Structure 1
């Protein structure tokens, strides 16, 4: 279940509560669900009860209690808890997580593309040649807009697009196209990029290296799984329960929303930061959840499920890098 699907589920729950006269409110056009700010608060959270409380003439917690009972019965939802004055914290079921992996592997590079901006037409032209960062941001935003379903056309200036140009650094010469792109796209638009040779370092302190290394590790896991006889394509109900697995799955499921938000906000840095979080989560998963049998251990359904999760992670990492115009090699 992706955040978009969960948002639709919450919205449908509100609609049914209104139809049953449990709530007397105007059904909103959309409901926002987000990853919670800290662990232990479910997989997603929504403040829909707070949005509706005033109209309903009830407290936000009373509205949340009505919605929680209905939401907990929805397929793909394992648990709903009420936090604070009325936040709904939603935990997805193992089956919902398995569906995310299946969707990513079936859709491949199309995963993350959507129609959230369908019907919108925007015009984009690069800034003058003396503004290299603005030109690059315009190019990448163009691609993000198309990925989110918008129609793009040449001949105008994209509203809201501006970017501080990079500080001159003699050490930045020779970075190459991938590191140069990352150095210009990763900082928020208002921040001045400071490209330097550290972006070429093959070590943990370099975020671009971590993202590309994580992608390469997913491909290596697939190759090794094949050599060890792990039946990756065997049908099974994937038992994703470990916190490192669910954290990784949440970030994968959130990828389509991140692409759309980056397009709406004209902010490629949002996508770059998400890839960092995804890459770091995969490296934690790799350490905490062995995906390959060791020694005389026989390949199991758990190994196969984890290799499928690694494959889905690699698909999303590569797709995100390609949206930024950065290569995603299988070997580093």
Structure 2
């Protein structure tokens, strides 16, 4: 990572903090980073937190903490420290270290990769109409915020279709019907957060009979809540033009690669070889996954997860076609194959975990 790359990385963190409403300040045109002076900490230092503190109405140390959280997980960043009155000091990873760290994290955390505790102090009450898209959206939002540590309760305006078995087949649960009271004998409750996407225009029963649970949930969740949900037969097409099929096929392909490697007698290794350039987009998407999940939880936007999974699937196939993880013909498995297999398996883990958060199955054979 060059100083210019680091400057753009810090500026991107400022943009994200402002977009997520964690920081209220004008975004500067550029961020200056400098080599750490003798006796200082890290490789580079930056005074952007001190620059933003006045407009943000926060102490520079608090601004630095907000930015450190968003910079620390960026590829190429080994460590971020806060020094003095609010300087950010950066220690960069050696080439390849950040990639291995991402793949090791995916392997260790499995389908929980990207889950965290950023919302652990929040108690949320989601309230939705007696309508299938509202119910499925509320359920997916619940899964997302719980993955980031929040405690959640879901209420539905009234019983009716919500009591039918079809909602259960879609994975939807409701904690209480009617509008919960603002206060109770135990004290005030968390304020209601209304979940009101554009209605589906069909009942759960109709959608299940025509599409089944997985395609129904994808069709309801993939568009942004303010957009109409296309719920036609295109959701069942077994082709790469169908994003749901693409994502699930990419996952199934990663499982097939693992089976093939086992048959050939080799296993993945994250430190076996450096990655070729076609792997870079996929590595970047995997590194970005925790931030996507947190942003989707904060903005109550499961469509962001669906788009992330599509991007991972496209990047996986581009990587797979350029850098096959399995040897061909009489070729012997090499360090490069073990390294590629590790990346392919990590992609599959992220795809399966993301589908699970959307309440959609990830079949190993498709």
What are the superposed Cα offsets for residues 48-74 of structure 1, whole Å, 9 maximum, x if unpaired?
A: xxxxxxxx9xxxxxxxxx98xx64xx2
CA RMSD of aligned residues (A): 3.5
Partner of 2:249: 213
Partner of 2:187: none
How far apart, CA to CA, are the structure 1 residues paired with 2:232 and 2:140?
A: 21
Structure 1 spans left out of the alignment, 5+ residues: 1-5, 36-41, 46-55, 57-65, 79-92
How far apart, CA to CA, are the structure 2 residues paired with 1:267 and 1:112?
A: 16
Q: How does 1:279-294 map to 2 (within 5 A)?
A: 279-294=313-328
Partner of 2:353: 319
What are the superposed Cα offsets for residues 204-244 of structure 1, whole Å, 9 maximum, x if unpaired?
A: 110000000000000000000111122325x734412x232
Partner of 1:111: 113
How far apart, CA to CA, are the structure 2 residues paired with 1:162 and 1:44?
A: 40
Partner of 1:133: 133
Partner of 1:89: none
What's the TM-score, normalizing by structure 1? 0.74
Q: How does 1:233-252 map to 2 (within 5 A)?
A: 236-240=271-275, 242-252=276-286
What's the TM-score, normalizing by structure 2? 0.67
How far apart, CA to CA, are the structure 2 residues paired with 1:302 and 1:278?
A: 21
Q: How does 1:245-324 map to 2 (within 5 A)?
A: 245-324=279-358
Structure 2 spans left out of the alignment, 5+ residues: 1-8, 15-31, 51-59, 78-85, 156-179, 181-190
User: Which is richer in strand?
Assistant: 2
Quote how far apart the aligned CAs of 1:296 are.
1.6
Partner of 1:101: 103
How far apart, CA to CA, are the structure 2 residues paired with 1:246 and 1:160?
A: 40
How far apart, CA to CA, are the structure 1 residues paired with 2:107 and 2:357?
A: 18
For the pair shown, the structure with the greater C-alpha radius of gyration is 2
Quote how far apart the aligned CAs of 1:168 are.
5.2
Partner of 1:81: none
8 A contact 1:167–1:194 mirrored in 2: no
Runs of at least 4 residues of structure 1 off by over 6 A? Answer: 16-22, 42-45, 169-172
Partner of 1:52: none
Q: How does 1:34-49 map to 2 (within 5 A)?
A: none
Quote how far apart the aligned CAs of 1:154 are.
4.5
